[in-house]
Amino acid sequence: ALVYLNGAFLPLEQAQVSVLDRGFLFGDGVYEVIPVYGGKPVELAAHFNRLDASLRGIHLINPLSRAEWRAVLRQLVNNNPDGDQTLYLQVTRGAPPARDHRFPDPATTAPTVFAQAKPLKPRDPQVLAQGAAVVLCDDVRWSRCDIKSISLVAAVLARQAAAAQGAEEALLVRDGHVTEGSTSNYFIVTSNQQLITPPRGPYLLSGITRELVMTLAQAAGLTVTERDVTVDECRAAAELWLTSSTREVLPVTRLDGAPIGDGRPGALWQKLDSCYQRYKQ
């Protein structure tokens, strides 16, 4: 299938960028991942808003208007109109003539813009039936985790540490609080049925799925509290869920090898997951 690079649609093998690209040299760029079901992107406007916020965070002007983005994404999605997909978008500060930490002259160096549609793997039915395992990991990332930056080495190390322990995800701990997953947000259900997720701020990425799950929960008559959550509260939770564009709402039933709640996906997860499944149609 064709991908989009700097104004052109071309085969993936022909989509090449300079070794001087600041994405390659500095991780100087931002990205988005957008799920697409039956040809329809989920919460597209929210993803565009977050892309703009990320670009503002790194002092880069969005090189495409929303209408231009929509046209690019529509064409990528139309390559594969039936299957579920994810759209990957990345903008870097471009490829100036020489490596220099300081910003290049925007008059001579244009941002690099890349977008690709990929098939979205359905969630593993066994994981949905039994729940996923997660492990705790120190959050060694910077203090602008609200920017969806392509500088992902800390997330890579955490996710790999989780995989090495047979776990789906690493939950990150900063100052005794669990901020988010390496590639996801999370919710807990307390033993008295309170639904809690950490608040937006510089130490986590404000997930589009997180926002959507809060909206769906409220529409279903549930109260969601946004506040910091300790490691002990996570261990003692009746339910724990991960949320992300690719995982949707995923039940977690093991934390560092110990069961969460009764060790099975919970009733509230079931309820929110069906709300999400209905919404995304």
Neighbour-count burial of 164, counting CB atoms closer than 10 A to its CB (0-12 exposed, 13-18 middle, 19+ buried): exposed
Nearer to ligand PDD, 96 or 198 (CB): 198
> Which residues of this chain interact with ligand PDD, rule CB under 6 A?
33, 180, 183-185, 205, 207-210, 243-246
Task: Give the shortest CB-281-to-ligand PDD separation in angstroms.
Answer: 18
**What is the nearest approach in angstroms of ligand PDD to the Cβ of residue 247?**
8
Residue whose Cβ sits closest to ligand PDD: 207
CB of 209 to ligand PDD, least distance (A): 3
Specify the residue, 197 or 243, whose C-beta has the smaller distance to ligand PDD: 243
> Parallel, antiparallel, or unpaired for β 132-138 and 248-255?
parallel
Enzyme catalytic residues: 148
Buried b (16+ CB within 10 A) or exposed e, 98-134: eeeeeebeeeebebbbbbbbeebeeeeeebbeebbbb
For residue 150, the 8-state DSSP code is S
Minimum distance from residue 156 beta carbon to ligand PDD (Å): 10
In the bound state with ligand PDD, the residue whose beta carbon lies nearer, of 33 and 272, is 33
Instruction: Tell me whether residue 103 or residue 279 sits nearer to ligand PDD (CB atom).
Output: 279
